[in-house]
A and B are shown apart, each in its own frame.
Chain A
């Protein structure tokens, strides 16, 4: 499995297939026998009530959690677990539910960290900072500036991200993930805590990334309006189990999903 394998897969074909994933922390079963697949180039949403195991699912895909059982088929290779670093190298980027930015660094530096994997010069060259290093640095800066333009971050380029408002921090985090030029983008509640306008902006960014850069997007989101509007396919989790999957309109009329969200009456 590598970035090249991933790039070779035609659009519409499966890139990630999760087979009977179970994840337990001691006696707590976070995920039980969950299977689904993500196709290349789609916007795939994972939804479910609080504590359904959505973030755990992303963490499994991303290599943070090792599944207790089950396998992940990633770009044609079966594997039991991932490593975060390997995931990054093979083109998976992600954002977090509760922002995980480098707070002491400026917006620009935060985005530049997204390029770290692609910078190849060794440290002696960096210490001397001549020729190739300076050139490489500028090259990546140019890429990052494109992301800054795209996300309208010009005015906060030099601001330490710790002092930015919440909505902007979310946007910078998306920027850092985009700076990695990922094939697959995992978004953990990208719109949580935003107002309507910010949500619209964010949806626009997500859709543009999907349309223009052809990035596969897996997202977790609670705002049903957004999810139904922007996603191609949806999987629904409840108490760690998959209770439904399919197109947005199928999910909307799925009995089990409605019960999970609204509760079941006794009669």
Chain B
């Protein structure tokens, strides 16, 4: 009853093809946007910003990026950390060379640079598939991190090898650096994430997305109907890397402020978690990218709260438990619901449609 679609007739192909075809979805989405843009900025504090909201937004973006490549185009990638590092270091270098450039433009250019790098590392995808491609992208992860470590030019010859963001403002309000207020960093990320999510959704529901999915589902048949495999795969690599690059730029400039490449963009801190996000959230689902990011970002916080504050374990023991439970959940998830949270949501919708009269 709650999720009733009866009586919602579509009289044009346009309304049938809308992003949110159902009234309930439209209302839910508008409410969410209202809360996100007009309520949260006024109540946000530093803890919510640093621990939950900003990382959630940034990882959502990275998850969308990887989902485009893996979920929609079927090319498994383990190089997310490396590509995020490209985004971060591009931002850093552009910041040093162009001190007056607007931060929004810097971040978008970083995304484009990452896209170019993504195309180069996507080239093997024409020849190799599946696990072998995953290993090839793994090589890109290690190569890129090694490169940013070994070539001092990238970190401006600093002694520590760290890169640190300088303050940049939007409309006179600092959004990067230590002085940036919580609401500013949050809104800055939110605007980028919402805009880019819509762009991704639009790509997915038009020609581009169908070409990707055709390649994913059966590349031979795709070729027969005139989808060029190389061009399509590389476009997926490019656009996916753009999103991941922007996420990396935000991760460095807005979220952390100062990073050390081996630590921050390691395979265990970025590449695998982002892959888990899209697997748990749902491969080939926009909603899944967000759900997966929310799950992965909030789980450690929830577990810590449960074990340290409720049960009273020491922080170190709790950390160990966290890793164990994390792994366990992953396995349970893959066995019980391989299609992820997005699938659970659609099952729930199905149930809500009939509730309370399940005849």
Contact = CB atoms under 8 A, between A and B. Distances in A.
B220 A100 contact: yes
A121 interface: yes
Contact of B17 (A94, A105, A137, A180): A137
Interface stretch (B175-183, B225-233, B291-299): B225-233
A62 B210 CA distance: 22
B162 to A, nearest CB: 35
A62 B199 contact: no
Interface stretch (A14-22, A42-50, A84-92, A216-224): A84-92
A166 interface: no
Contacts of A205: none
A129 B202 contact: yes
A119 B218 contact: no
A123 B218 contact: no
B221 interface: yes
A123 B208 contact: yes
B217 interface: yes
A250 B235 CA distance: 53
Contact of A116 (B199, B200, B214): B214
A267 B199 CA distance: 75
B203 A123 contact: yes
B228 A85 contact: yes
A138 B284 CA distance: 23
Contacts of B203: 123, 126-127
A113 B206 CA distance: 10
A185 interface: no
A102 B218 contact: yes
A126 B213 contact: no
Interface size class of A (residues with CB under 8 A): 35 or more
A123 B235 contact: yes
A132 to B, nearest CB: 11
Nearest to B210: A113
Interface in B97-144: none
Interface in B218-250: 218, 220-228, 235, 239
Given A127-B203, A138-B13, A104 B284 contact: yes
The 8 closest A-B pairs by CB, nearest first: A88-B226, A102-B217, A100-B221, A129-B202, A117-B226, A127-B199, A126-B206, A119-B207
22 contacts: A84-B226, A85-B226, A88-B223, A88-B224, A100-B224, A102-B213, A102-B216, A102-B222, A103-B217, A104-B213, A113-B210, A116-B211, A117-B226, A119-B207, A121-B206, A126-B202, A129-B202, A134-B14, A138-B12, A142-B13, A176-B225, A180-B226
Given A104-B213, A116-B211, A119-B207, 8 more contacts: A85-B228, A88-B224, A101-B221, A102-B218, A104-B216, A116-B227, A117-B225, A126-B203
Interface of B: 12-14, 17, 199-200, 202-203, 205-208, 210-211, 213-214, 216-218, 220-228, 235, 239, 284
